[in-house]
Amino acid sequence: MSNRVAIVGATGLVGEALLAILQQRSFPISELTLLASERSAGQIIDFNGEKHQVKLLDDFDFENIDFSFFSAGAAVSRIFAIKAANAGSVVIDNTSEFRYDDHIPLVIPEVNPHALKDFKKNNIIANPNCSTIQMLVALNPIHQAARIKSINVSTYQSISGAGRSMLNEYDRQVVDSNYPENEENFFAHNVIPQIGLFENNGYSLEEMKMVWETHKIFEDKSIEVNPTAVRVPVRFGHSEAIGVVTENHLSIGQIRGLLSESSGIQLMDDDESYPMPVREGEGTDAVYIGRIRADLNHSNGVNLWVVADNIRKGAALNSIQIAETIIESNY
């Protein structure tokens, strides 16, 4: 059965990735509609050898759309995702707008596909934050086997996570002989320990997203999550240094075995090889894991290094996998 698909935010980084992955995975599409703001409407985009003109979102009726993928920001989803869902379209939203709504499922197909069973109550499924997705894909096999009690994570997040305009700004700064003079954003050759505004507790919004989303997806608010989110001068691919403590003991061999048998994970864990964003973080679909080692101070602790493409698995691919799961499971 083919599907009528709409992509909102079709000209952005995630929108481009959605189109590429839909083609690569031969997602069954009978009709494709590309939507964007007035600034981008009218552009011509090729998909499967056919030319598609980007339409203006404001004027669009979602009544005859089966799946709507939203990647145009929370403010857009706040209005138009609800409009699409009310028209009968299944909305898969890549923004933060619905993630913390108790009535909206927040889904990583490799981790909690069961959360989709009641999605028709609102016709909206939320895609988690990019950093949460790769972390929980990596940790879920450990959690299922031994229950994770605490997570300490430091993220090293690429510039593309801030969107196309910031990526273009970074590229300009890299070759600007006058940088860093007269700059507001110091992306090039720099490490920034803030992503998003700071909350009252001193943690950034990006860091708190990882706390809230871990609790919701793992369905366990007792897990202690201690995150630090950092922007680094890398174009694509997020990296994470993760340390966990489990309730029950697992040997490093057992952990390697669990991870190697899990969907969506690629182990690169030996003395000669470990994942890096410049190689594994762009144009890839797996969550790459290396540097697996026992915690020096806790008998039930383990440390991991995790890399993934933040635009693909961290956004576009996960969204498409949600749609595929709905189709395959006949929800």
Catalytic residues: 130, 238
HEC string of the chain equals CCEEEEEECCCCHHHHHHHHHHHHCCCCEEEEEEEECCCCCCCEEEECCEEEECEEHHHCCCCCCCEEEECCCHHHHHHHHHHHHHCCCEEEECCCCCCCCCCCCECCCCCCHHHHHHHHHCCEEECCCHHHHHHHHHHHHHHHHHCEEEEEEEEEECHHHHCHHHHHHHHHHHHCCCCCCCCCCCCCCCCECCCCCECCCCCEHHHHHHHHHHHHHHCCCCCEEEEEEEECCCCCCEEEEEEEEECCCCCHHHHHHHHHCCCCEEECCECCECCCHHHHCCCCCCEEEEEEEECCCCCCEEEEEEEECCCHHHHHHHHHHHHHHHHHHCC
What's the CA gap between 27 and 5, in Å, rounded? Answer: 10
CA angle, corner 289, sides to 148 and 69, nearest 5?
Answer: 85
Q: Are strands 67-70 and 90-93 parallel, antiparallel or unpaired?
A: parallel
Amino acid symbol at 161:
G
